[in-house]
Structure 1
Amino acid sequence: MAPDRGLEETITSLDLGTQHGDSTTGRIPATEMIPPHLSHDPATNAKQSDPFQFGQRFLSEDDDVFTYNAWDHVVPDTAHHEYCETQYAAQRASPVSDFDRARFNEHPEKWWDLFYKQKSSTFFKDRKWLVQEFPVLNEVTRQGAGRKVILEIGAGAGNTAFPILRMNENPDLKLFAVDFSKKAVETMRNAQDYANSKGVIAAEIWDVAGEALPPGVDEGSVDVVIMIFIFSALNPKQWPQALVNIQRALKPGGEVLFRDYGRGDLAQVRFKAGRWMEDNFYVRGDGTRVYFFEKEQLETIWGSVFDICNLDVDRRLIVNRQRRIKMYRCWIQGRFRKKECTE
């Protein structure tokens, strides 16, 4: 399924600089002296020890917001919340037609096939930041870790799976990279990384909201499930079945690594007429769907089946310094563990 296209498109079109999960660099004059806590000095960056800290570039009342390309933990003010509510009301007033709602929900995989056919390989950026955000990936790929199974759901073009392959030192690792887009799976299978994997990776077509487990995946065999900007691509009616399948695949104590869109994200606020399907659920111009979550909502959904190890909101204020534009991004990141004993 999808990369975080809202983030990638924003960075590409507006040259915004350093991002969470992006490798571009802000253009700060060499003569400008930057305090370590604002420059993300590795010696003081809490992300090294606490992945859910989400950076340390805090915006104070004395700071010029346009000094940097991005600020961490910036909660939108009342005026922005009011603007968002105005946008949501306008979206609800001009919903998608009943005809389009039916066709976008009936066969969502065909829209993802079209998406992957249209995008060049340079559109997709490797998610090298995942290992920092989810240290368990270091544990399962280290030498001597023993038999470990990773299941990436919505693997897309392989931009999570292939970086894991490149860092892997565990000869007993098995990585299943699944997607319900045939074109996405075809793209992975044609990649050089896939050919070089010596059978470590298996790319398969699979619908997480279907009735069966992925090909080759036994019940209770998976150590780590990766879901990055995937849950949001499902119709809310599909969530219960998806959780059932994930629970079936995981070992007791196995973990889900989760990251997705939060309500109020720039990508949601900017939707125009004819894209609203239901509250927080939209169809993009290319026919793919996206949902925007509240933290409390995810606590209810995942907490009913899994133990919640971590769940927090990653807020960013993105600044286009040249055009003097401020944009709020909001993602939610979590780790969910399958209960050791289920009733």
Structure 2
Amino acid sequence: MSDPVPAAVAVAPQTATPTPTLSTTSSPHDTPGCTTPIPPSAEAGPSTLRVSVIDKWLKPNGPPKGVSFGARKLQEQDDVWSNNAWDHAELPDDFEERAAEIMEAHAASPVPDNKVTEYNARPAKYWDKFYSHHADQFFKNRRWLPLEFPELVLCCEPDAGPKVVLEVGCGAGNTVFPLLMHNENPDLRIFATDYSKTAVKVVQSSEMYPRAEHGLGQLSASVWDISSRPSDEAAAQGMTYSLPEGVEAGSVDVLTVVYVLSALHPDEWAQAVHNLYSCLKPGGLLLVRDYGRHDLAQLRIKKERLLDVPNFYIRGDGTRVYFFEKDQLGDMLTAPPRGAETGNMFQINQLAEDRRLLVNRKEQKKMYRIWLQAKATKL
């Protein structure tokens, strides 16, 4: 699981059900490098970071001088057609009504029953196929990481001390390789996991993957299903979680889950979050980025793509995607720990909906991207 296909290798655009319709022109595999930064949490805001560290991530292709990336907000006096995109967009009054009509059309034409089990039974198969097709073109430096997740930058500072970072759904290394490239911390250890064995091979075969002769830092990549349960032997001994190879329970300082939970069936969410919780040390930080309800990618999905749960779809390449509401994500993170009737697994530091207005000036179309972002501390 990882980022959707970058524009250079995007699959053919899909269109929403003809009636009703909202303007849609983006690829079904979205490009998170175009995300709008959400103000970081107070615990690790930009004021706590060395400017030079962030500059290393943004240069040489950083924002133009004098322009704050993610701060182009449409004002009443602005001409909406004067730019290709506007940040922190307000949805039009009739947006939800029109989106609901499209959802009804999706529900009226779902995936045929005889194919639902096939898609849900072996999701890794479709991600393996995906990475096999795009292995040489998929890596994309997530330049937005230091702006939206400055906590990762802090782990890379030379005086940060021993830090363990776990990237779940590493894909082609879009998070872990930039971390290594900008790391100044000799005590940083990074684990990268994906449940696609092909994705893990892509990471391990990269010239950026640490080897004895390179000395680029400590990085270990392995296959791990985020929703997996403990083995029968471990369960018999009372273990309720599974862990990635080399990761000890309660050892991770920062854990990133970017466009990963949306690839799981809703029945798998509880075990997945419990596994993440078990990886983190008390006070450890979980960073989540994923698709929001009625995102452009959802509204443009074709017929016969809705699976067995509302808002859960199959893409044209067979990979699955769910579109979250903010409260759903919040409820997952604040559920009681496994075996407890009260209490919370996480304290939520940030839970926000990030919206961007995309403009097709030639065709005079307005399109809305919607993402969710969460930062939560293990209690």
Instruction: State TM-score, norm by structure 2.
Output: 0.77
The equivalent of 1:110 in structure 2 is: 125
Taking a change above 3 Å as real, the CA distance of residues 8 and 326 of structure 1, as seen in their structure-2 partners, is farther
Q: In 2, distance between residues paired with 1:60 and 1:11?
A: 34
Maintained 8 Å contact 1:128/1:160:
no
> Secondary structure of 1:122's partner?
coil
The runs of at least 4 consecutive aligned structure 1 residues that moved more than 3 Å come to 4-16, 40-45, 195-199
Q: In 1, distance between residues paired with 2:357 and 2:262?
A: 22
The within-5 A match list for 1:266-305 is 266-277=296-307, 278-304=309-335, 305=345
Shift of residue 12 of structure 1?
11
Shift of residue 138 of structure 1?
1.4
The worse-fitting range, judged by mean Cα deviation, of 221-230 and 299-308 is 299-308
Taking a change above 3 Å as real, the CA distance of residues 44 and 284 of structure 1, as seen in their structure-2 partners, is closer
Deviations 1:35-87 (A, max 9, x none): xxxxx876674x7xxxxxxx322213332211001111222213332221111
2:144 pairs with 1:147: no
The equivalent of 2:244 in structure 1 is: 214
The equivalent of 1:253 in structure 2 is: 283
**Aligned mate of 1:125, from 117, 140, 144:** 140
2:345 pairs with 1:330: no
**Which residues of structure 1 form unaligned runs of 5+?**
24-39, 48-54
The equivalent of 2:3 in structure 1 is: 3
The within-5 A match list for 1:170-319 is 170-195=185-210, 196=214, 198=216, 200-211=218-229, 212-277=242-307, 278-304=309-335, 305-319=345-359
**Aligned mate of 2:78, from 42, 59, 63:** 63
Taking a change above 3 Å as real, the CA distance of residues 15 and 279 of structure 1, as seen in their structure-2 partners, is closer
> Secondary structure of 2:209's partner?
helix
2:33 pairs with 1:21: yes
Taking a change above 3 Å as real, the CA distance of residues 9 and 325 of structure 1, as seen in their structure-2 partners, is farther
The equivalent of 2:56 in structure 1 is: none
Count of aligned pairs: 313
Amino-acid identity (%): 45
Q: In 1, distance between residues paired with 2:9 and 2:358?
A: 13
Structure holding more helix per residue: 1
Q: In 2, distance between residues paired with 1:42 and 1:238?
A: 45
Deviations 1:234-264 (A, max 9, x none): 1111011011111111000000111000001
> Secondary structure of 1:192's partner?
coil
The equivalent of 1:29 in structure 2 is: none
The within-5 A match list for 1:7-86 is 21-22=33-34, 45=68, 55-86=70-101
> Secondary structure of 2:274's partner?
helix
AA aligned to 2:156 is T
Shift of residue 221 of structure 1?
0.5
> Secondary structure of 2:137's partner?
helix
Shift of residue 8 of structure 1?
7.8
Maintained 8 Å contact 2:188/2:217:
no
Instruction: State TM-score, norm by structure 1.
Output: 0.85
**Aligned mate of 1:158, from 165, 173, 188:** 173
Q: Over aligned residue pairs, what C-alpha RMSD do you find? A: 2.5
Taking a change above 3 Å as real, the CA distance of residues 215 and 312 of structure 1, as seen in their structure-2 partners, is same
